[in-house]
A = this chain, B = another copy of it.
Amino acid sequence: MKVTIKEVAKLANVSPSTVSRVISDNSRISLDTKKKVNEAMKELGYHPNAIARSLVNKSTHTIGVVMPKSAHLSLANPFFPEALRGISARANKKGFFVMLSVEDNEMDKHSNIENIVRAGVVDGVIMLYYRLGDETFNMLKDNKFPFVVVGKPVNGNSNRVNYVDNDNIGAAYEATTHLINKNKNPIGLITGPMNLTVSLDRLEGYKRALSDRDISYNSDFVKESDFSQEGGFNAMVTLLKSGNCPKAILATDDLLALGAINAIKKAGLKIPRDISIISFNNIPAAEFLTPPLTSIDINPFELGYEATELLFQCLENRKSTYQARIVPTKLIERGSC
């Protein structure tokens, strides 16, 4: 844990520079000394100090990952841990470390990730969300710091930033069409906060699907809420009491669907007989609900994996060309429609 390059050098009878060169597998080192040095390293249990290395290389070989502060609401769904797994998998493969930053309301002035970036401890960052006018996003962009976002930054920005996302418009279109094909009408939409692009895109997909079937869009059927079960419950209650309750619901998140289902059951209605429901994220419990919930798998592992890959690309070719990557979704049909 504390043997340095000097001690290795001494034991191997070479200079520290030489040891450094065999570590980096420099080609112009004789096989002989290479062997000698390697043996010395083994004998002493030497491991290069990454901090010292970072200081001279100006690269820490670590990427920062930002999780939104509202995460505790939807942290319950598998998106974040799965995305983290994907990021780790890709990062490990390249010998990179991953530093986690959970946004924290209680922080004074500077956000955790801002400190991380300013302190120079990460080479790039992955944001696991996109929010309109987000400070972290702006800070990264203003500093021209390498980063990629999981989720689509809106229009003006989207061609000047690296991101990976699902085709949320397409997925919502597919889900809505699925409902239309079951002859369910009207169709309600229970969505997460509208300052998230993901919400905007899913709304757009919903609208387009309606329009393509000549169904007129009615904003009374659209309820915005935070990503909580209570939110879903309340939204559904409003819909139920409206006097013109939808025959089907598209929920933007399974947690929302969980709440909505509860409201539907409490109203004495049956799923899917009276009301069908379909949602996003495909939580593990989905197949164990009664009836099992039809849901769209958004492939969070892949989202994380691709984001990391993309980040590595920007770290390598320092030219500022931007890229978007789309990860496919999959509608898992079960019994709720």
Contacts and interface: CB of A to CB of B under 8 A. Distances in A.
Contacts of A1: 117-118, 120, 143, 145
Q: Which residue among A71, A84, A97, A258 has the maximum number of chain B CB atoms within 10 Å of its CB?
A: A97
B100 A72 contact: no
Nearest to A93: B106
Contacts of A93: 106
9 contacts: A1-B118, A47-B118, A49-B120, A50-B120, A75-B81, A98-B99, A100-B100, A229-B284, A258-B284
In which size bucket is the chain A interface?
Answer: 35 or more
Contact of A285 (B89, B120, B258): B258
Contacts of A229: 284, 287-288
B92 A121 contact: no
Interface string A65-106: 100000110011010111011001100110101111110101
Contacts of A102: 84-85, 88-89, 92
Nearest to A290: B290
Interface of A: 1, 47-52, 54-55, 60, 62, 65, 71-72, 75-76, 78, 80-82, 84-85, 88-89, 92-93, 95, 97-102, 104, 106-107, 112, 115-121, 143, 145, 229, 255, 258, 261-262, 283-285, 287-290
Contacts of A75: 78, 81-82, 85
A32 to B, nearest CB: 25
Nearest to A118: B47
A104 B89 contact: yes
Nearest to A110: B47
A285 B290 CA distance: 12
B88 A100 contact: yes
A121 B50 contact: yes
A99 B51 contact: no
Given A258-B284, A285-B289, 9 more contacts: A1-B143, A47-B118, A62-B99, A88-B104, A92-B112, A97-B99, A99-B99, A262-B287, A288-B289
